[in-house]
Chains A and B, each alone.
Chain A
């Protein structure tokens, strides 16, 4: 049985309430941190834990915290990124909905470590029912002396505010989030300056994902060193994976990052295999922005080694033959899924969500969507495939924020690995409207061996 650090208690009856959460050992970490540790010691502990940001980029959290500027007399802020809008990703929702006090606890400790007296949770607008849950938890924490003035007699004051977004994916990008939090249009800022120097209202700010901040609780309870022993290499601790698509058991799973991708998909403890007895065609292992992998590259890397569910192994082979851990949105496609239609759907999403500030993303995403629609509906040309490749290449790396890259990568990966499916669509415009291309040679590595 795998280690569970975040969701272990998530299904205890009544855990949403303060009393049950406290009875189950909640707020011990706050006690320990505020009473016996200095802010610097907490940052040090997080560094030792090897925790990497769970929002997508995987940047080491302790290091990020140590970058925060500390100019005299200027308030600093911690912002919790709960905008979770990446297609396929729904782990933060689960955490906030089932065990909200874990996040609040993590936020108090992190606020103390960073010196944030006003901490914000920026939550995506569509999660309409969750702010109430969070606000309830905040009120309970405050009533019990974990928030407010002079917490535990340490002289540290902290308030947590919940701010709802209005339903824009781009507001998950940390600087767009900051703009939106300030009440402005959610356009990403041009960096530098980074939020660590000039964030909310130009004050030093740290933005972290929900799961990242919740993970601070077990780090304090266990110590950073012990936390780092879980997992493997630079993938320490546990990771929440939201699994969806054509699998028997979609849901949110907490894994330690030593299990293989194959085990994750086929074991009954996790996804429980492909639904309806179908065969696996492809998978997007880390949310819609990361490259799609065909089955034959999913279980084994190009070098023939087993692929594991961790940062290093999922990205083994770079973009040529690998993918990314991303935000942990694990999307599985079976043999009946059409990669062209799938890519078109994603392109439509990115086109819709581009903020429109920079020309390559604003214009390029719309262009890609139009071409993909043509190919999908049997109106494509052979040259369109190369054109798509060229467009994504000209977006990638040339934009203000990573949304441009996120729009380019899925298209690039789909063409890289499934070019023959695109060509088949072009060559068989009528047939492609009535049947799917199927598996072709991307068969599940397990079946090839068998």
Chain B
């Protein structure tokens, strides 16, 4: 296990005085490692985590991640939903890893083989984690503002089991207002620590953290201090559940009745690039722009597109914004309605990828259907596929 102690990069420091001679091979970050996840092989730069590699493949192969957030340093490792089985450590040391590992915090090795949904152990452990996460969760989705864009909902749908075996009273907390804009309802919190990292990394005076231990631990702003910082509103965007919500939006509408549009304004505090959640001409909510993994996207200037409180809470008129057009939505959202984009098509054959596994949809259109046209890019079809899509265009 202690193989990983050996640091490789530092040794080849190149100085300006280096004499001309045989070229020293610099082990740069661009070195590519081959990794196979659920029978699909891709190449990723050294230092990539299993989770990031799996996200490059996309679809079901990407493990669910409730605590990891690529834009937050130090996040991940906590929720354990992303556990995977490493069935082969690397080309050099093919031994499997003895335990399931958190894919968000484990980096790939060259020749590594990983099983996610192809591993019984993973499916079993993940169902366990979902059960644990829901144990004390109120499941009050019908009255929760996060419903429709809640990662815990998606997670339980995709990886959980029906019914509960927990026959005790659930843990509850009172709701707290964290300043004028944010409400904390700890009862729904899954202690992913994302908001703690956000408060720590975006604001200069953190008064937001975790108090107590174990299942009585709670997110708190020490002694009910309000959070007054220009960027603190971002904790709402990173929260995977409905524990931190926007008080200016609470109960005004259901997310699936609102329509997300991309918009921007000149802001001297942040990038000013946002998503407006509108109904008709009315702006119900302003959030940062998110990618298909629910994470805040990079802004056009390249850095993470965190937005300031003013943009988020105070600019609620369409006239405050320059509207760019409808947001491309995908994957985890009831508003997506099948508009999946960005799926990567494996090079392997369908048989090899499935390796005896039953497909989730019990129809393999590639071999059964008469629309067996491998040249068609399913991911480019807008909306639910229709037979017409196979006849015309889409010959990319």
Docked pose: A358 CA to B67 CA in angstroms? 10
Q: Which residues of the partner chain B approach A352 to less than 8 Å between Cβ atoms? A: 213-214
Please tell me if the beta carbons of B83 and A359 are within 8 angstroms of each other in the complex. no
- The B123-182 residues at the A interface (CB cut-off 8 A) are 124-125, 128-129, 131-133, 135-136, 165-166, 168
Q: Tell me whether A170 is interfacial, beta carbon within 8 Å.
A: yes
Please tell me if the beta carbons of A363 and B215 are within 8 angstroms of each other in the complex. yes
Please tell me if the beta carbons of B129 and A360 are within 8 angstroms of each other in the complex. yes
Please tell me if the beta carbons of B78 and A367 are within 8 angstroms of each other in the complex. no
Please tell me if the beta carbons of B105 and A359 are within 8 angstroms of each other in the complex. no
Please tell me if the beta carbons of B105 and A190 are within 8 angstroms of each other in the complex. yes
Docked pose: A400 CA to B129 CA in angstroms? 13
User: Interface residue count for A (Cβ, 8 Å)?
Assistant: 34
Q: Which residues of the partner chain A approach B102 to less than 8 Å between Cβ atoms? A: 190
- The A133-189 residues at the B interface (CB cut-off 8 A) are 168, 170, 185
Binds B, one of A192-200, A298-306, A339-347: A192-200
Q: Tell me whether B391 is interfacial, beta carbon within 8 Å.
A: no
Q: Tell me whether A317 is interfacial, beta carbon within 8 Å.
A: no
Q: Which residues of the partner chain A approach B272 to less than 8 Å between Cβ atoms? A: none
Please tell me if the beta carbons of B5 and A398 are within 8 angstroms of each other in the complex. no
A-contact bits for B48-82, CB 8 A (1 contact / 0 none): 00000000000000000000000000001111110
Q: Tell me whether A394 is interfacial, beta carbon within 8 Å.
A: yes
Docked pose: A227 CA to B76 CA in angstroms? 44
- The B77-135 residues at the A interface (CB cut-off 8 A) are 77-81, 83, 99-100, 102, 105, 124-125, 128-129, 131-133, 135
A-contact bits for B167-206, CB 8 A (1 contact / 0 none): 0100000000000000000000011010000000000000
Q: Which residues of the partner chain A approach B215 to less than 8 Å between Cβ atoms? A: 351, 354, 356, 362-363, 365-366
Q: Tell me whether B210 is interfacial, beta carbon within 8 Å.
A: yes
Please tell me if the beta carbons of B79 and A358 are within 8 angstroms of each other in the complex. yes
Give the distance to chain B from A347, nearest Cβ to Cβ, in Å.
Answer: 12
Q: Tell me whether B318 is interfacial, beta carbon within 8 Å.
A: no
- From known contacts A359-B80, A394-B125, infer whether A67 and B213 are also in contact, taking CB-CB under 8 Å: no
Closest to B215 in A: A366
Please tell me if the beta carbons of A359 and B79 are within 8 angstroms of each other in the complex. yes
Q: Tell me whether B25 is interfacial, beta carbon within 8 Å.
A: no
Closest to A362 in B: B215
Please tell me if the beta carbons of B191 and A356 are within 8 angstroms of each other in the complex. yes
Q: Which residues of the partner chain A approach B213 to less than 8 Å between Cβ atoms? A: 168, 170, 352-356
Docked pose: A365 CA to B166 CA in angstroms? 13
Please tell me if the beta carbons of B129 and A398 are within 8 angstroms of each other in the complex. yes
Q: Which residues of the partner chain A approach B105 to less than 8 Å between Cβ atoms? A: 190
Q: Tell me whether A222 is interfacial, beta carbon within 8 Å.
A: no
Docked pose: A397 CA to B125 CA in angstroms? 10
Closest to B196 in A: A185
Give the distance to chain A from B210, nearest Cβ to Cβ, in Å.
Answer: 7
Closest to B214 in A: A354
Q: Which residues of the partner chain B approach A354 to less than 8 Å between Cβ atoms? A: 213-215
Please tell me if the beta carbons of A194 and B5 are within 8 angstroms of each other in the complex. yes
Please tell me if the beta carbons of B2 and A353 are within 8 angstroms of each other in the complex. no
Docked pose: A365 CA to B217 CA in angstroms? 14
Q: Tell me whether A399 is interfacial, beta carbon within 8 Å.
A: yes
- The B215-240 residues at the A interface (CB cut-off 8 A) are 215-217
Q: Which residues of the partner chain B approach A394 to less than 8 Å between Cβ atoms? A: 124-125, 128-129, 131-132
Docked pose: A423 CA to B124 CA in angstroms? 27
Task: Give the contact-size bracket for chain B.
Answer: 35 or more
Docked pose: A354 CA to B216 CA in angstroms? 10
B-contact bits for A391-422, CB 8 A (1 contact / 0 none): 00010011110000000000000000000000
Partner of B5, one of A69, A190, A400: A69
Q: Tell me whether B360 is interfacial, beta carbon within 8 Å.
A: no
Please tell me if the beta carbons of A363 and B133 are within 8 angstroms of each other in the complex. yes
Q: Which residues of the partner chain A approach B216 to less than 8 Å between Cβ atoms? A: 356
Closest to A352 in B: B214
Docked pose: A196 CA to B1 CA in angstroms? 13
Please tell me if the beta carbons of B77 and A400 are within 8 angstroms of each other in the complex. yes
Q: Which residues of the partner chain B approach A356 to less than 8 Å between Cβ atoms? A: 191, 210, 212-217
Q: Which residues of the partner chain B approach A358 to less than 8 Å between Cβ atoms? A: 77-80
Closest to B105 in A: A190
Give the distance to chain A from B195, nearest Cβ to Cβ, in Å.
Answer: 14
- The B280-321 residues at the A interface (CB cut-off 8 A) are none
Docked pose: A268 CA to B134 CA in angstroms? 53
- The A193-221 residues at the B interface (CB cut-off 8 A) are 194, 196-197
Q: Tell me whether A364 is interfacial, beta carbon within 8 Å.
A: yes
Q: Tell me whether B209 is interfacial, beta carbon within 8 Å.
A: yes
Give the distance to chain B from A247, nearest Cβ to Cβ, in Å.
Answer: 32
Docked pose: A410 CA to B227 CA in angstroms? 43
Q: Which residues of the partner chain A approach B191 to less than 8 Å between Cβ atoms? A: 356-357, 359, 362
Please tell me if the beta carbons of B217 and A399 are within 8 angstroms of each other in the complex. no
Docked pose: A170 CA to B213 CA in angstroms? 10
Docked pose: A95 CA to B362 CA in angstroms? 66
Q: Tell me whether A370 is interfacial, beta carbon within 8 Å.
A: yes
- From known contacts A358-B80, A362-B217, infer whether A192 and B129 are also in contact, taking CB-CB under 8 Å: no
Give the distance to chain A from B296, nearest Cβ to Cβ, in Å.
Answer: 23
Give the distance to chain B from A207, nearest Cβ to Cβ, in Å.
Answer: 15
Partner of B166, one of A168, A190, A359, A367: A367
- The A362-386 residues at the B interface (CB cut-off 8 A) are 362-367, 370
- The B338-372 residues at the A interface (CB cut-off 8 A) are none
Please tell me if the beta carbons of A399 and B5 are within 8 angstroms of each other in the complex. no
Give the distance to chain A from B181, nearest Cβ to Cβ, in Å.
Answer: 26
Some 29 contacts from A to B, beta carbons below 8 A apart, are A69-B7, A197-B7, A351-B215, A352-B213, A352-B214, A354-B213, A355-B213, A355-B217, A356-B212, A356-B214, A356-B215, A357-B193, A358-B80, A359-B133, A359-B190, A359-B191, A362-B217, A363-B136, A363-B215, A364-B132, A365-B214, A365-B215, A366-B136, A366-B215, A367-B166, A394-B125, A398-B99, A398-B125, A399-B80
The 4 lowest CB-CB distance pairs between A and B, nearest first, are A394-B128, A190-B77, A356-B217, A354-B214
Interface residues of B (CB under 8 A from A): 2, 4-5, 7, 10, 76-81, 83, 99-100, 102, 105, 124-125, 128-129, 131-133, 135-136, 165-166, 168, 190-191, 193, 209-210, 212-217
